[in-house]
Amino acid sequence: MAEMIEGHGGELALAALRAFGVREMFTLSGGHVFPLYDAAHKQNFPIFDVRHEQSAVFAAEAVAKLQRRPGLAVLTAGPGVTNGISGLTSAFFNASPVLVLGGRAPQFRWGSGSLQEFDHVPLVAPITKYAGTVTDTDAIAGEITAALTAALTAHRGPAFLDLPLEVVFSTGEAAQPGSPAVPILEADPDEVARAATLLATAARPVIIAGSDVWGGDAIDALRAAAEALRIPVFANGMGRGALPPSHPLAFAKARRPALNEADVVCVIGTPLDFRLGFGEFGEARVVHIVDAPSQRATHVTPAASPAGDLRRILTEISGYRGEVVDHAEWIDGLRSAEDAGKARDAEAMAAETDPIKPARVYGELRRVLAPDAVTIGDGGDFVSYAGRYLEPAQPGTWLDPGPYGCLGTGMGYAMGARVTYPDRQICVLLGDGAAGFSLMDAESLARQNLPVVIVVGNNGIWGLEKHPMNAMYGYDVAADLQPGLRYDEVVRALGGAGETVEKAADLGAALARAFDSGVPYLVNVLTDPADAYPRSSNLA
């Protein structure tokens, strides 16, 4: 017979969470969820708190993305949960196994108008893999186990449970939760074989690897497959850094010639969305390898689309034993384009302009960032440049908001990254507009001794909106911010430190001070408002 555990709702919840390797909670205080705090407090389970619930969910998402295990946000009933909706939606788009535990007004007088009484479940159902209300204290552990199992089953994603006041405050019992059993999805072997043959026999194949390759722990298998069949690899999202930039098959700058000239484009672990021109690659045949049938594109008909565990599919492909076409010439051609692109970038990143061009900020950052540094992008043009100029040396070190494109991830992602890696460099690239969504959480970082470096590209505008609106209408509205605003002083007032940089020559020393400071440190770089990220294609 299974060992039984007893306790209040918070204690039963914590036992189930621990069984899945959850090691901390992110939250903002609310009486509805006090028993969860009580359990954590009594068991030395770390609690990190924030100034807006969106940051709690983003912090949980960063933990989930970086560690490939569930991240937990505890949000109070009503407005606590609704403030977390953009975070949950981002986790849904990013396949991040986030669990949100919500408080909930008492069930026994539901409908009488209790404080913060609101039925969250219909609101979160479309943006979660599992959503429900736990109506019995004895069921809490089992429901959490079911929610986390759903969150970790490919295609991964967030889950939500709310716990009515009397349910979480009451005492109950449950079987001691055992180790998780997450089902593994097997792809159709014939479909895998078809994909392998298409890749091996193509004259000019290209692989694009995305976040699920990282999330599905298939990085090594990807490398083995690319090396076995000699295929150039591009990456987006959490797939970036899958092959180190020095790898002969790693490419980033040659994307346009690669996609224009390829005869087979193999997209792995990422949707055929706007980031990939909606999967339209001219004459090329498309192979779409996904981690679950639900991820197959409906707007494109691929030549093959295996759906299942990515590590197994890629391992299978790397063992392909048929004819392999020689791709040496194709790879050499792309390498020339890549080198030319890198030379152009190097020039831009050295620009000695006044005001500073965003490219120069990244030129300076590249000098100080360690290979295992975690970089986080939250903003418009400033972050598009980060994507272009920063080359993650390792997978699992680049956090962008993903295809949902939600501004405001910055401080939450920074908190989750710092908690994950107490000793690494954590660097947030923040647009000045984006700063408005989460900068107050520099206070949470400072107070809880979580140092990070925040580099603001301060152009005084919502650049990614102002420039396009001007191009479209010849004028713009609602696109200006205060020029030269001292975001560094904001962070200083909140318990951190910072400085403003106006001259390119001062950037290096300022960044060095920031990384040495041991506190949340904001480098407020005044950048050129006339500079617009060139958006001639939707392959950003």
Ligand X SMILES: Cc1ncc(C[n+]2csc(CCOP(=O)(O)OP(=O)(O)O)c2C)c(N)n1
Could you tell which of ligand X, Mg ion, none binds residue 84, using a CB distance below 5 to 8 A set by kind?
A: none
Residues in contact with Mg ion, counted by CB under 5 A, come to a total of 5
Among 459, 500, 524, 527, binds Mg ion (CB under 5 A): 459
The piece of 69-77, 325-333, 416-424, 431-439 that touches Mg ion (CB under 5 A) is 431-439
User: Minimal distance in Å, beta carbon 250 to ligand X?
Assistant: 27
- Between CA 383 and CA 395 the distance in angstroms is 18
User: Minimal distance in Å, beta carbon 463 to Mg ion?
Assistant: 5
User: Minimal distance in Å, beta carbon 458 to Mg ion?
Assistant: 7
357 DSSP assignment = P
Among 97, 431, 451, 498, binds Mg ion (CB under 5 A): 431
Percent helix, strand and coil across the chain, each to the nearest 5: 45, 15, 40
The piece of 2-10, 122-130, 420-428, 463-471 that touches Mg ion (CB under 5 A) is 463-471
Q: Which residue is nearest to ligand X (CB)?
A: 431
Of 250 and 406, CB closest to ligand X? 406
Of 103 and 431, CB closest to Mg ion? 431
User: Minimal distance in Å, beta carbon 270 to Mg ion?
Assistant: 27
Residue 497's CB is within 10 A of a number of other CB atoms, namely 17
Residue 217's CB is within 10 A of a number of other CB atoms, namely 12
DSSP three-state, residue 477: coil
Q: Which amino acid is at 120?
A: H
User: Minimal distance in Å, beta carbon 43 to Mg ion?
Assistant: 43
What's the length of the chain?
540
Could you tell which of ligand X, Mg ion, none binds residue 252, using a CB distance below 5 to 8 A set by kind?
A: none
Of 381 and 391, CB closest to ligand X? 381
Of 222 and 525, CB closest to Mg ion? 525
- Between CA 508 and CA 211 the distance in angstroms is 32
User: Minimal distance in Å, beta carbon 455 to ligand X?
Assistant: 12
- Between CA 417 and CA 373 the distance in angstroms is 10
Of 26 and 462, CB closest to Mg ion? 462
- Between CA 460 and CA 531 the distance in angstroms is 12
- Between CA 329 and CA 41 the distance in angstroms is 62
User: Minimal distance in Å, beta carbon 384 to ligand X?
Assistant: 8
User: Does 358 help bind Mg ion (rule: CB under 5 A)?
Assistant: no
Of 294 and 482, CB closest to ligand X? 482
Of 407 and 511, CB closest to ligand X? 407
Of 463 and 498, CB closest to Mg ion? 463
Among 87, 241, 412, 463, binds Mg ion (CB under 5 A): 463
Q: What are the helix (H) ranges across 390-535?
A: 410-420, 432-438, 442-447, 463-473, 487-493, 507-516
Of 29 and 470, CB closest to ligand X? 470
User: Minimal distance in Å, beta carbon 495 to Mg ion?
Assistant: 25
- Between CA 452 and CA 19 the distance in angstroms is 30
User: Minimal distance in Å, beta carbon 433 to ligand X?
Assistant: 3
Residue 27's CB is within 10 A of a number of other CB atoms, namely 25
User: Minimal distance in Å, beta carbon 360 to ligand X?
Assistant: 14
Could you tell which of ligand X, Mg ion, none binds residue 408, using a CB distance below 5 to 8 A set by kind?
A: ligand X
How does DSSP assign 27-65, residue by residue?
A: E---GGGHHHHHHHHHTT--EEE-SSHHHHHHHHHHHHH
Could you tell which of Mg ion, ligand X, none binds residue 73, using a CB distance below 5 to 8 A set by kind?
A: none
Angle, CA of 208, 238 and 348, to the nearest 5°: 80
Could you tell which of Mg ion, ligand X, none binds residue 381, using a CB distance below 5 to 8 A set by kind?
A: ligand X
My answer on whether omega of the bond before 247 falls inside 30° of 0, hence cis, is: no
Angle, CA of 363, 368 and 371, to the nearest 5°: 100
User: Does 408 help bind Mg ion (rule: CB under 5 A)?
Assistant: no
Q: Which residues bind ligand X (CB under 6 A)?
A: 379-382, 405-408, 431-434, 457, 459, 461-465
Could you tell which of Mg ion, ligand X, none binds residue 434, using a CB distance below 5 to 8 A set by kind?
A: ligand X
Could you tell which of ligand X, Mg ion, none binds residue 232, using a CB distance below 5 to 8 A set by kind?
A: none
Strands 205-209 and 264-268, sheet pairing? parallel
DSSP three-state, residue 503: coil
User: Minimal distance in Å, beta carbon 466 to ligand X?
Assistant: 7
CB distance 99 to 144 below 8 Å: yes
My answer on whether omega of the bond before 355 falls inside 30° of 0, hence cis, is: yes
Q: Which amino acid is at 223?
A: R
Restricted to residues 251-280, the positions that interact with Mg ion (CB under 5 A) are none
How does DSSP assign 137-189, residue by residue?
A: GGGHHHHHHHHHHHHHSSSP--EEEEEEHHHHHSEEEEEPP-------PPPPH
Q: Counting beta carbons within 10 angstroms of the beta carbon of residue 139, is it exposed (0 to 12), middle (13 to 18) or buried (19 or more)?
A: middle
Of 307 and 429, CB closest to Mg ion? 429
Of 110 and 533, CB closest to ligand X? 533
User: Minimal distance in Å, beta carbon 449 to ligand X?
Assistant: 27
User: Does 433 help bind Mg ion (rule: CB under 5 A)?
Assistant: yes
DSSP three-state, residue 480: strand
User: Minimal distance in Å, beta carbon 414 to ligand X?
Assistant: 15
Could you tell which of ligand X, Mg ion, none binds residue 465, using a CB distance below 5 to 8 A set by kind?
A: ligand X
Could you tell which of Mg ion, ligand X, none binds residue 501, using a CB distance below 5 to 8 A set by kind?
A: none
Residue 353's CB is within 10 A of a number of other CB atoms, namely 12
Could you tell which of Mg ion, ligand X, none binds residue 464, using a CB distance below 5 to 8 A set by kind?
A: ligand X
Residues that bind Mg ion (CB under 5 A): 431-433, 459, 463
